[in-house]
Structure 1
């Protein structure tokens, strides 16, 4: 299916083909897609990975949502294209006043982009707070390790830095805190009891050891 057809199908309003084409062209221009009229007649396989990612964003925006969910939008893209996609989403959020939920395994990619951050481990939210709080004063041991790894991708011996241990399988979560097998701060109760929430409504973390 051609690019233009795919984006037009996402438009909810009962508009004429000409009106829909105008909306689509405006979207492609806003997303800085070169030669937008030509793109409407092309197929996805004719475009680069970064261009296809922008087309997917255009399809999502065509429905004019209040909330845009971006799940790993820059995965498998090279660093330069990845940066452009993130900057593009940042601009969309700022100019359109839309809420963007950005889901990623790359914490560094949301620095300077997110207002609020939720850190999850094994399906549980372990820390939540304003981005400045998370990056400047993370409390949960898992959050601390993630941020520590941002600043040193390799250790002193030149080997890739990492968090010791392996994440649990979905059908084999440990009792108590799910991070305790990999945590250097774990106490006996961490192995048997669900962690208590510490902090405030603005910035909280699920760890009884760190307060």
Structure 2
């Protein structure tokens, strides 16, 4: 065999070996960086830093992962999860009558994941709640504590709970009072009412018709 050919083969295999080692090193470095970015994204999500601040948010860290690996399932699912979190915040804001805030949360959810099928239902919920007529019943703190709210008061509340779209928000200083109010309303209604609860200094029932 010609000496030059032998030299060529030696150089070729040497270069191939170096290239293989370099590629392995790059992949190893990428994996370490991805793991680090994932940990940052998870912590940012726990801290409610979903998309802001822009330079220290979960969305930013997931995007950096996708730049290293466009098919990284954890990052793809992570961004989808951020969208779901915004929708859960939107629902909570709707129930608290904070419609502008809810609208902003829905917008962010759609920005993160335009294909999220839950966006449509939350947007419909927002439109319906923001347009519904409301009636507020304020209840005496003393009567609530003594469980002495008159039957006539609960009957008046029940009379305004007609229709499939009826919905109430019960506000009370503690969970026990709120549950008692809900129980008393259900005792005089033909169907179990849809309700949400929130803590406040006074007791009241807000009806959406």
Does TM-score exceed 0.5, indicating one fold? Answer: no
Greater helix fraction, Structure 1 or Structure 2 = 2
Larger Rg: 2
TM, length-normalised to structure 2: 0.29
